[in-house]
Structure 1
Amino acid sequence: MIGDILLEVVLPVFVLIGIGSWMQRVFRLDLYTLAKINFYCITPAAVFMSMYHSDMSGELLGNVTLFYALYVFILYVIGTLVARPLKFTKSMRAAFNNSIMLDNSGNYGMPINALVFKGDPLASSMQALIMSLQSLLTFTYGVISIQGAKLKGNYRSMIIGFLKMPVPYALVLGIVLHAVHAPLPLFVSQPLTYAQQSMVAVALLTLGAQIVKYPLKLYRVDVYISLFLRLIIGPVIGVTLVFALGMKGIPAQALLIASGMPTGVNTSILAEEYNNEPDFAAQTVLISTLFNIITITGLISLAKMF
């Protein structure tokens, strides 16, 4: 089973990440443009189509939202408790909590989900919802925590960033049109389908190009503490919540796998934007993504038992 997972899920993901890294080194890709294409076109289209074709009931939607809220709250509490004896500065505490709470559920989690579940509408819509909630968390708590540490209460950019996010609008619109059974004309549905189908390749190529810009450093203990909480404790919390909420089958499997994503690229982007521990943030993104080769393989194997 582990060999099949490595060959059919993990290896295809990291082949594309590797190609993206190679292309960045050779061609110096425009990362700003790539990020915008993902953020404003491909990801919203994938979220919308996932929710429009969703098999999620209202009850399941509520359970997924509850799972995610409890999941990030527990991570926040653990991160805060771990940071105290380490005597982190205020800015470092913000960067540390962001590194364990803001994961890569978008341009890594969505492709993993698509490969594991073979495009199953229910699993896809659940990951789309998780990604949307993650985006909301990034541009609310993620920005506020850094602003509290660096900008002392200037929240104007956070509000603007939140209102500019296309993913929540796509999420709500997809849910509404699904609920009222509104048909989509072909000239709308076909371009959205094309964009959705391109998501896996474009997202992973972009991720590979993004992480290669950071030099790898293997000596920071604080990075490994973040890595342990993100890749080991995160899935432990996920398993516990899945059992506590009585979830089984595809919903349980999708949530469990979603709980094991590496640190999100947005963590590094926010750190660079506000000059808040950018080196630490970059290292957590890079090293957690590399170590995730091992942890996501084990987590997918575990999820198959549910």
Structure 2
Amino acid sequence: MIADIMLEVVLPVFLLIAVGSWMQKVFKLDLYTLAKINFYCITPAAVFMSMYHSNMSGELLGTVTLFYAIYVLILYIIGSVVSRSFRMNKGMKAAFNNSIMLDNAGNYGLPINALVFRGDPLASSIQALVMSLQSLLTFTYGVLSIQGAKLKGNYRAVIIGFLKMPVPYALLLGILFQAWKLPLPTFLSMPLTYAQQSMVAVALLTLGAQIVKYPIRLYRLDVYISTFLRLLIGPAIGISIVLLLGLEGIAAQALIIASGMPTGVNSSILAEEYDNEPDFAAQTVLISTLLNIITITALISYAKTF
């Protein structure tokens, strides 16, 4: 099973990431434009279509939301304890907590989910919901934590940024259209489907182009601690919550795999935007993504036992 997962899921993902990295080195891609295409077009389309075609019940939606709330709360507590133990300053504490709480549920998690579950509507909708919750966390806690450390207030930008996010609107519309059984006319369903189908390739190429920006530095202990918490403790927490909630089957598998994603690129983007430990943030993204080759393979294999 391990060999099959490596060949059929992990290798295709990292092959596209490698191509994106190569293209960035050779052609110097416009990462700003790529990020905007992903954020404002492809990801909202994928989220909407995943929820629209979902057979997720209201009860399961609430359960996934509860899972995620418990999950990030435990990570926050662990991050706060560790950062206090190492006597990190406020800025570093914010960057450290973001590195373990803000994972790559979008342009890495969605493709992994699509490959593992072969586009299963329930699995896709669970990952889309997790990604939407992750986006909300990024533009609320993620920004607030840094602003609290660097700007001492002035949260107007947080509110504006939150209202500009397309993913929550796509999530809500997808749920409403699915609940009310509203038909999509062809002139809407076809472009949304095309955008959704492009998601895996475009998201992974973009991720590869983004992470190659950062040179690897192998001397930072705090990066390894963050990576350990993100790639090993995160999944352990996810598995524990799944067992606590009594989840089984596709729902349990999707949530366990979702808990094993590497640090999200957004944590690095926020660090650069507010000049808050950008080198640390970049290293956690790069190193956790590379090491995830090993951890996600083992996690997928374990999740399949549920």
User: TM tier, shorter chain?
Assistant: over 0.9
1:34 corresponds to which residue? 34
Unaligned 5+ runs, structure 2: none
Q: What is the correspondence of 1:179-258 to structure 2 with a 5 Å cutoff?
A: 179-258=179-258
Per-residue deviation at 1:44? 0.1
2:46 corresponds to which residue? 46
- The code of the aligned residue for 1:138 comes to T
After superposition, what is the alpha-carbon deviation per residue over 1:162-217, rounded to whole angstroms, capped at 9, x for unaligned? Answer: 00000000000000010000000000000000000000000000000000001111
Q: What is the correspondence of 1:121-160 to structure 2 with a 5 Å cutoff?
A: 121-160=121-160
Q: What is the correspondence of 1:257-296 to structure 2 with a 5 Å cutoff?
A: 257-296=257-296
1:66 corresponds to which residue? 66
Give the 3-state SS of the residue equivalent to 2:215 in structure 1: coil
Give the 3-state SS of the residue equivalent to 2:201 in structure 1: helix
Unaligned 5+ runs, structure 1: none
CA distance in 2, matches of 1:216, 1:85: 26
CA distance in 1, matches of 2:78, 2:194: 41
CA distance in 2, matches of 1:203, 1:84: 35
CA distance in 1, matches of 2:292, 2:91: 26
Per-residue deviation at 1:27? 0.1
2:109 corresponds to which residue? 109
2:299 corresponds to which residue? 299
CA distance in 1, matches of 2:50, 2:119: 10
CA distance in 2, matches of 1:242, 1:169: 27
Give the 3-state SS of the residue equivalent to 1:107 in structure 2: coil
Give the 3-state SS of the residue equivalent to 2:219 in structure 1: coil
After superposition, what is the alpha-carbon deviation per residue over 1:73-104, rounded to whole angstroms, capped at 9, x for unaligned? Answer: 00000000111110101000000000000000
CA distance in 1, matches of 2:182, 2:163: 26
Give the 3-state SS of the residue equivalent to 1:198 in structure 2: helix
Q: What is the correspondence of 1:73-112 to structure 2 with a 5 Å cutoff?
A: 73-112=73-112
CA distance in 2, matches of 1:55, 1:282: 38
CA distance in 1, matches of 2:55, 2:13: 26
Give the 3-state SS of the residue equivalent to 1:153 in structure 2: coil
- The code of the aligned residue for 2:53 comes to H
2:163 corresponds to which residue? 163
CA distance in 2, matches of 1:142, 1:159: 13
CA distance in 1, matches of 2:93, 2:255: 27
CA distance in 2, matches of 1:207, 1:262: 12
Of all paired residues, the percent bearing the same amino acid is 80
CA distance in 1, matches of 2:37, 2:274: 23
Across the aligned residues of Structure 1 and Structure 2, the Cα RMSD in angstroms comes to 0.3
TM-score (norm 2): 1.00
Per-residue deviation at 1:68? 0.2
Per-residue deviation at 1:154? 1.0
TM-score (norm 1): 1.00
CA distance in 2, matches of 1:161, 1:215: 29
CA distance in 2, matches of 1:290, 1:219: 16
CA distance in 1, matches of 2:84, 2:187: 55
1:16 corresponds to which residue? 16
CA distance in 1, matches of 2:215, 2:227: 17
Per-residue deviation at 1:43? 0.1
List 4+ stretches of structure 1 deviating above 3 A.
none
After superposition, what is the alpha-carbon deviation per residue over 1:31-50, rounded to whole angstroms, capped at 9, x for unaligned? Answer: 00000000000000000000
Give the 3-state SS of the residue equivalent to 2:263 in structure 1: coil
CA distance in 2, matches of 1:141, 1:87: 21
After superposition, what is the alpha-carbon deviation per residue over 1:231-275, rounded to whole angstroms, capped at 9, x for unaligned? Answer: 000000001000000000000000000000000000000000000
Per-residue deviation at 1:62? 0.3
